[in-house]
Structure 1
């Protein structure tokens, strides 16, 4: 019994120890997780091609919990992925977190992380640290794994047609398939289809192998585009299968297009040369049919039909021609004979040419062209009239020659009557007058190619200048058949404009002084090439209600010049008086020129000439005085002189300057007086010093007067003031005199300033 108790006790302790060991082992394990697969996308069926620059892409890490204990289970699983350079979460963090509820031993599960991939991330495998945390039955569990994240880029195809515009019919085109992505594509296969154009060839599938990133594969195609009167677009669809850089087989579909030009209409041109036939003869003609279109035409049948009413007869041909083909730019030429009977003279008719043919697309066409022919008039003798000149000079007798040329068959008994245009009611004078001939001409005979000339003289009236007129010629003659024919011909002539004389008038000088008479030369010149006669000039002088600014002295206002030959001049001397009140003005003279030109026509012209009336400034010395009265060597004194302007214009801005050596100004070398009115005394004062070395006697002070006249032109005048220098005086008297001068000078200068300020200018 005791042994049984001991056995039971040992058994109990063993069971408890085993359970405790199992429990302790589970609570302390680090768990066994392994990476099964890493891919981009939410599931195996929706894998994506991750590439640098992608945002919000899902990275799936498939894990397996490999613990074999039936008690093993992890709850609240958390995976923290420590991102390598170039990867971050959408919020910009370097760690991405994913959760899973619970796993049991042997279970496979996915942790999915949403990431952004930087543009600069390298195309390679990136090693990242994955930390797995969870809760077991007894204690937490943690495990750290190394995960290899592939970043191989994306395949992106683009296709274009290198020759994207084609003509209807067969065309060779080349498709350029380019991998514009960042990853290489392998096992690339392309199948091309189209519903709008036809692919010509046995196979439309192409095995292109590998297309690296940035590489281009060229696919040559032959297509057939249906002809159309309007342009259209032919769409080509490419079905592409390939394996991407992640080893995933994928498919893609692209579309491109070709522009099919409108089918140009076939164009055949036909011509018949010559198109003029001679009656009574077999006329050799050439028919030319040319393909001026863009496509080859074939099976061309040409039918030429001559109307029965035309009386024309085809010879050496039945009017039918077969042409196998004509390429663009090629032509077909055939010669045959058309007989034109005499009765068909002067006939004009159209020959119908029917063309049946096939175009490049086996479409049939039928067209009818009309080729016009004209049969000459065999009985007509063609007389051509011409003049040696078709321009007439007005006012002169013009010598012309009339030419009669026979460009047809022989003609006889030719009469020609010339009729010139007559005057009208408004102008009864005939513009053209025949001189020395009545206008009737008779020619016995003119053979083919012969000519006849007749001298004629026509006077063109001066009033006809610048006009055009028609000279009418009535013809009557017998043609080679003896038939009398009547015709009228008209020849136009132009009467030239009469040469306009170039007349120039001038006055010299153009500036004259007011208040006195001035000698002025009037010159009139003929600068033209024609003489002028009976030249007369009438001068109209300006005048107002209160003033006659200028007047002619000793002449009336009409000047008879007489004859002016070309390039000559005549001068008439005139005396003109200008009124003083007109000083500083310009006066316009109107010249009316009458003359007779070289054609005998009386003409009248008007000219305008401007004269400038300039006032005169005449400044003279009226009176003068010195203070003190006696001037001695070395003494200071003031000179006061009075000026009067006796001219007809005020002097403006008058400035007086002492010139010469000896006497020196004490204050300033010049005195500004201002304006000098007419006939108004104007004084000025200048303080001077007599030289110490001067000897007693009489001296003259020279003053230069500068001013502007009423035309604001600068002028100068001079006045001379006599000064008497007395002998030396006793020192006492000299001192007193010096004191008196020194005392008087400021008072004199002050008085002069006050006087100048109150004197009106």
Structure 2
């Protein structure tokens, strides 16, 4: 299922300068096949004196193959021009730096104005109206002076997003351009600029341990660690995987789905690794950490852990102890032989001393 909802830009008074014709800004599609697209008409009308660029926010709500619901927001700009030739000052381009803008950031907004009309625009003044929890560090109203046809002028604003501003939301700034046209009539061109605010995600790995230790060649071991999000917004759909680089090889337990990791919430993990044939030494074990931010955009980082591998100790053969029976038996035979020899010698001498009859 895919639901598309279109939201019209609103002015500071809360009213929209545009209205829908025929439709109410909602479309439903039963399914969208891979690598295909769907088209739908969008009919709008504006009041008589509306001139400028207005954002249209399209909210996409859909379910994936796992029946999980996702929501994404896309913004498009609609330029409204006057019917008759006149002076027309509007924004030609803009630039935000640094980008993306995160909670608590100070960032710059650069506007390039251009007179698209056929006559000079006089006393051009630009006013920036910031949404709640955004502040302008530089003056919000800037005087440009006069602009000739097809001439441009650049304005720089410095702004700050509050750390408590909601992340995952497109915050709309109103930019009003006041000038006097060639007929001496005061004109205003209103623009609405949507800036998506991001929460920061900073994943670190610490508290690393190995089991067993030491780590032997041609053996498996388990690496345990803790992942901490030091940012301000959750890291979603987080997955950690061992990268198979020599001498390390993956096993069935070399990947782990950790899900959502909230800020300042330690998340433990353990992965199995096999050490293939290699020399003794220290090798970098690479762990791929992939996740998605609050806008469902994918991110990844690689964390390296030094691992020292060695050869397993050699098994020594136990020598059989020499039996003491053989020496004892040998000594006994020698003793008996000496005793017999002594007896024979004594008998021989006695026989010689005895006179013959």
TM range (shorter): 0.5 to 0.7
The equivalent of 2:251 in structure 1 is: 666
Given the superposition, is the C-alpha separation of residues 704 and 687 from structure 1 closer, same or farther in structure 2, using an over 3 Å criterion? Answer: same
Residues 511 and 611 in structure 1, CA contact (< 8 A), matched pair in contact too: no
The equivalent of 2:284 in structure 1 is: 700
Residues 87 and 182 in structure 2, CA contact (< 8 A), matched pair in contact too: no
| Inter-partner Cα distance in structure 1 for 2:213 and 2:107 | 45
The equivalent of 1:507 in structure 2 is: 94
| Inter-partner Cα distance in structure 1 for 2:195 and 2:92 | 13
The equivalent of 1:521 in structure 2 is: 110
Residues 515 and 648 in structure 1, CA contact (< 8 A), matched pair in contact too: no
| Inter-partner Cα distance in structure 1 for 2:280 and 2:163 | 46
Deviation at 1:617, TM superposition (A): 1.9
For 2:272, which of 675, 681, 687 is the aligned residue? 687
Residues 242 and 271 in structure 2, CA contact (< 8 A), matched pair in contact too: no
The equivalent of 2:308 in structure 1 is: 724
Given the superposition, is the C-alpha separation of residues 499 and 573 from structure 1 closer, same or farther in structure 2, using an over 3 Å criterion? Answer: closer
Deviation at 1:678, TM superposition (A): 1.2
| Inter-partner Cα distance in structure 2 for 1:644 and 1:538 | 42
Deviation at 1:648, TM superposition (A): 2.6
Given the superposition, is the C-alpha separation of residues 498 and 599 from structure 1 closer, same or farther in structure 2, using an over 3 Å criterion? Answer: farther
Deviation at 1:608, TM superposition (A): 1.6
- For 1:628-676, what per-residue CA distance to the aligned partner results, in whole angstroms no more than 9, with x for missing partners? 1211212211001111122232110011122233212222442111111
For 2:184, which of 600, 608, 617 is the aligned residue? 600
The equivalent of 1:678 in structure 2 is: 263
Bigger Cα Rg: 1
Residues 168 and 294 in structure 2, CA contact (< 8 A), matched pair in contact too: yes
State how many pairs are aligned.
230
Deviation at 1:498, TM superposition (A): 7.2
For 2:297, which of 689, 713, 726 is the aligned residue? 713
For 2:231, which of 637, 647, 660 is the aligned residue? 647
Deviation at 1:727, TM superposition (A): 4.4
- For 1:565-606, what per-residue CA distance to the aligned partner results, in whole angstroms no more than 9, with x for missing partners? 222322223333223442111111112221122233332332
- TM-score normalised by L of structure 1: 0.29
The structure, 1 or 2, with the larger RCO (C-alpha pairs under 8 Å, 6+ apart) is 2
- For 1:436-495, what per-residue CA distance to the aligned partner results, in whole angstroms no more than 9, with x for missing partners? xxxxxxxxxxxxxxxxxxxxxxxxxxxxxxxxxxxxxxxxxxxxxxxxxxxxxxxxxxxx
- For 1:541-567, what per-residue CA distance to the aligned partner results, in whole angstroms no more than 9, with x for missing partners? 111xxxx1x2223x0211222222222
**Structure 2 unaligned runs (5+)?**
1-83, 317-357
The equivalent of 2:218 in structure 1 is: 634
Given the superposition, is the C-alpha separation of residues 500 and 525 from structure 1 closer, same or farther in structure 2, using an over 3 Å criterion? Answer: closer
| Inter-partner Cα distance in structure 1 for 2:85 and 2:115 | 15
The equivalent of 1:567 in structure 2 is: 150
Q: Is the aligned partner of 1:587 residue 2:171?
A: yes
Deviation at 1:501, TM superposition (A): 1.5
What SS does structure 1 have at the residue aligned with 2:215? Answer: coil
Q: Is the aligned partner of 1:611 residue 2:198?
A: no
| Inter-partner Cα distance in structure 1 for 2:310 and 2:251 | 20
The equivalent of 2:48 in structure 1 is: none
| Inter-partner Cα distance in structure 2 for 1:498 and 1:632 | 81
Residues 504 and 527 in structure 1, CA contact (< 8 A), matched pair in contact too: no
For 2:119, which of 530, 536, 542 is the aligned residue? 530
- TM-score normalised by L of structure 2: 0.59
